[in-house]
A and B are shown apart, each in its own frame.
Chain A
Amino acid sequence: SAVISQKPSRDICQRGTSLTIQCQVDSQVTMMFWYRQQPGQSLTLIATANQGSEATYESGFVIDKFPISRPNLTFSTLTVSNMSPEDSSIYLCSVKRGGDEAFFGQGTRLTVV
């Protein structure tokens, strides 16, 4: 397994502002992933973050809205920009370690008011 720490665990933000979520892994991993989990919906992949290259975004997600950094093999950030109430969700960082099973952080519960 992997130990994945996410910060903050929760936040309440004003619309129009931005929030940066941090993800720290206890050992080096090649691929890190950011997911969104909205009420009543399945986990949705936002983007894949590889160290040394630009993140790859899934359909419906764009870099201007969800910029991602991956400065090294143990750390990544996701920024939710120009937030609206529709961005209220749980955001989850995930990693894979050689196999195909994914491991998750505890999530960041975001409420936009």
Chain B
Amino acid sequence: QKEVEQDPGPLSVPEGAIVSLNCTYSNSAFQYFMWYRQYSRKGPELLMYTYSSGNKEDGRFTAQVDKSSKYISLFIRDSQPSDSATYLCAMSGIGNSGGYQKVTFGIGTKLQVIP
């Protein structure tokens, strides 16, 4: 079983729809949760970053973390064609003495927003 599971899609939605992207994970040590957006032929761009459980909102984007279910979500409201990209979830634990912990990525979900 992979540490992080993410449906690769593709996911096609009409413009204006609410998009829900999800990841599940198995490592209970994960404390930091991130969502990246990657356009074709570009590097991943950090979208959202949350620590532990709860919600975080930034404009049209909302990230949710449910540690009890080991489940994280990214919601995109009023989706736009410019949101068409691959969305990667990522997570890491807390390092010893505050040191570095490796970031583990999902495979990415390809999203297409159709005008």
Contacts and interface: CB of A to CB of B under 8 A. Distances in A.
Interface residues of A, number: 23
A104 B108 CA distance: 15
Contacts of A42: 2, 4, 6, 88, 104-108
Interface stretch (B10-18, B44-52, B56-64, B74-82): B44-52
Contacts of B49: 99-101
Given A42-B4, A43-B44, A109-B41, A100 B92 contact: yes
A31 B100 contact: yes
Given A31-B100, A101-B34, A102-B34, A43 B46 contact: no
A96 to B, nearest CB: 7
Nearest to B100: A31
A41 B105 CA distance: 10
A33 to B, nearest CB: 8
A103 interface: yes
20 contacts: A4-B43, A40-B8, A41-B107, A42-B108, A43-B88, A48-B100, A100-B101, A101-B32, A101-B46, A101-B49, A102-B34, A102-B46, A102-B103, A103-B46, A104-B36, A104-B44, A104-B45, A107-B41, A107-B42, A109-B41
Given A40-B8, A104-B36, 7 more contacts: A42-B108, A43-B88, A58-B102, A92-B43, A99-B49, A100-B49, A107-B42
Interface of A: 1, 4, 6, 31, 40-43, 45, 48, 58, 92, 96, 99-107, 109
